[in-house]
């Protein structure tokens, strides 16, 4: 029996792996539960140290008199287990309901469609194979390579924790973040790392630092933060200085960089910030699986100033637009933000909602309340078609006018193609885009570009100030998306003779939906 870490995407490793899978398949074929077997277990002891949160959970669990499984077992669809379950060096096939936590150490679990785990699901050094139709009510902690193994001795079972990870973890690729390229900062390259400090009881302290350089401005960017993490909760605070934008909902860093590099179109505005902040972050669900949420509640002091626009090189040689000024000064505010990523077999959603309350505290120059929301939703439609809906909205509450560093815009191919880039600008924004995507057959493929997707598009939106006309602009159109290149034609329904054709490049690689082959 292997006692080493097991990968998350393969059946549990070691000489007994195939035997365990075979037993699981036999159990499924038999159509009845093999669980509810009461197998006497010798005393279980926990020694050593590895992951702080898992160490504490195992120590607490052993004091709660859990159901300990040390043989390959099945919990059938009609079975309900009321106490916490600890699986040690064995395989569990779960089709029924667990009303408490499920913890695996050096073990494997097949969580089948319809199975329910009301508590947390924790994998320490094993493998979990979880159906999207199974439900986990608590947090899913998946540590397949964690340093835990189970040793079976004659009169006891020992859970050994070992292999303390390196205290230094580099960001991104060897510490380097994904670079950005825009008309104000040029190339921004950043390197960062996290240093894990010695534990303080049940708390893991971490220091994160990053530093970089902006080629167009010839100035640095840098940030540092301290985080105190316990299980899924983190208390953090930090300092940062660099550039910021309120328009990253239009294009993320990478997509905006590609756009600017190609033709000089920059779909964001920028300002300089110096921030000091503190927050409490609570995570929900599982970052690597179907559901993950983060609630962040905190406060910040932000000093902002305007940045002049530049004109770094682009392939088409186009001149970049200017960068608008902001209302310089200090913003002292409380911020609450909830972000959610959810992936099902036929639907996908990711988005966030944010509330900011700024007051004239600690030298703050502005007082306002603001709410903003952004989301991307997609679903499998007819046949192999996909329906996508993306939306963004921002509204100051109580009739306030926000400082210009909180404004955004619509106009241009990032939002409404029939408008000029950033044509409508303000602190109130509403925008929705619907796309119906039809993969076309391979017989229509072009050399190098492949077969296109046909996208039918409807978009509507506006950005305005309190006294402006807030009538929404609508447009409809069609897009042919090839490998790395697209053609798009958009027109307003009230002026069908004045359409806009856009031909440009996109990054051809990216995530696909679960229903796409």
Q: Is 470's pLDDT higher than 90? A: no
Q: What is the spatial distance between Cα 516 and Cα 438, in angstroms, rounded to a whole number?
A: 12
Q: What is the spatial distance between Cα 114 and Cα 131, in angstroms, rounded to a whole number?
A: 8
Q: Which of 9-13, 57-61, 62-66 has the lowest mean pLDDT?
A: 9-13
- HEC-encoded secondary structure of 176-241: ECCCEEECCCEEEEEEEEEEECCCECCEEEEEEEEEEEECCCCEEEEEEEEEEEECCEEEEEEEEE
List pLDDT tens digits, range 311-370: 999 999 999 999 999 999 999 999 999 999 998 889 999 999 999 999 999 999 999 999
**DSSP secondary structure of 449-493:** TBSPEEEEEEEEEEEE-TTS--PPEEEEEEEEE-SSEEEEEEEET
Query: Rounded to two decimals, what is the model's pTM?
Result: 0.72
Going by pLDDT thresholds of 50, 70 and 90, the confidence category of residue 36 is very low
Q: Which of 4-18, 229-243, 268-282 has the lowest mean pLDDT?
A: 4-18
Q: What is the spatial distance between Cα 425 and Cα 406, in angstroms, rounded to a whole number?
A: 11
Q: What is the mean pLDDT of residues 158-184?
A: 87
Structure token digits, residue 295: 């609630």
Domain ranges for the chain: 17-161, 407-517
Q: What is the spatial distance between Cα 494 and Cα 515, in angstroms, rounded to a whole number?
A: 37
Q: Is 65's pLDDT higher than 50? A: yes
Contact 262, 315 (CB under 8 A): yes
């Amino acid at each position: 029996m292997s006692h080493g870490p097991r990968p998350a995407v393969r059946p549990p490793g070691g000489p007994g792996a195939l035997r365990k899978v075979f037993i699981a398949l036999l159990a499924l074929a038999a159509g009845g539960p093999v669980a509810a077997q009461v197998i006497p277990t010798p005393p279980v002891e926990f020694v050593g140290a590895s992951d702080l949160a898992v160490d504490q959970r195992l120590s607490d669990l052993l004091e709660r008199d859990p159901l300990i499984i040390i043989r390959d077992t099945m919990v059938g669809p009609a079975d309900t287990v009321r106490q916490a379950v600890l699986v040690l060096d064995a395989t569990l096939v779960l089709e029924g309901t667990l009303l408490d936590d499920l913890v695996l150490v050096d073990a494997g679990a097949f969580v089948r469609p319809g199975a329910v785990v009301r508590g947390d699901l924790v994998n320490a050094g094993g493998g979990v194979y979880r159906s999207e139709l199974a439900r986990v009510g608590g947090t899913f902690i998946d540590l397949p390579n964690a340093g835990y193994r189970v040793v079976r001795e004659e009169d006891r079972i020992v859970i050994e924790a070992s292999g303390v990870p390196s205290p230094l973890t580099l960001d991104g690729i060897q510490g380097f973040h994904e670079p950005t390229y825009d008309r104000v900062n040029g190339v921004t390259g950043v390197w960062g790392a996290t240093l894990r400090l010695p534990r303080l009881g049940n708390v893991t302290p971490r220091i994160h630092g990053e530093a970089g350089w902006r080629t167009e401005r010839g100035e640095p960017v840098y940030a540092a933060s301290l985080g105190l993490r316990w299980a899924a909760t983190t208390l953090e605070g930090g300092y940062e200085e660099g550039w910021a934008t309120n328009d990253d909902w239009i294009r993320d860093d990478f997509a905006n960089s590609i756009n600017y590099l190609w033709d000089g179109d920059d779909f964001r505005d920028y300002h300089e910030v110096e921030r000091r902040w503190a927050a409490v972050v609570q995570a929900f669900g599982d970052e690597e699986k179907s559901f993950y949420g983060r609630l962040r509640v905190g406060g910040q002091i932000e000093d902002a100033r305007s940045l002049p626009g530049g004109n770094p090189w682009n392939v088409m040689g186009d001149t970049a637009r200017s960068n608008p000024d902001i209302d310089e000064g200090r913003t002292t505010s409380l911020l609450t933000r909830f972000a959610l990523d959810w992936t099902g077999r036929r639907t996908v959603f990711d988005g966030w909602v944010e509330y900011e309350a700024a007051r004239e505290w600690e030298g703050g120059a502005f007082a306002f309340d603001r709410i903003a929301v952004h989301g991307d939703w997609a679903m499998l439609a007819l046949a192999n078609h996909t329906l996508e809906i993306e939306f963004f909205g921002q509204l100051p509450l109580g009739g306030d006018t926000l400082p210009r560093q909180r404004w955004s815009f619509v106009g241009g191919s990032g939002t409404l193609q029939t408008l000029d880039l950033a044509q409508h600008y303000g602190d109130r924004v509403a925008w929705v885009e619907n796309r119906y995507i039809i993969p076309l057959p391979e017989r229509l493929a072009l050399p190098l570009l492949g077969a296109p997707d046909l996208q039918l598009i409807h978009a509507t939106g506006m950005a305005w100030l309190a006294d402006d006309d807030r009538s929404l602009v609508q447009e409809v159109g069609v897009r042919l998306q090839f490998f790395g290149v697209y053609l798009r034609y958009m027109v307003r329904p009230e002026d069908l003779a004045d359409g806009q054709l856009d031909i440009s490049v996109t990054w051809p690689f990216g995530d696909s939906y679960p229903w796409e082959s």
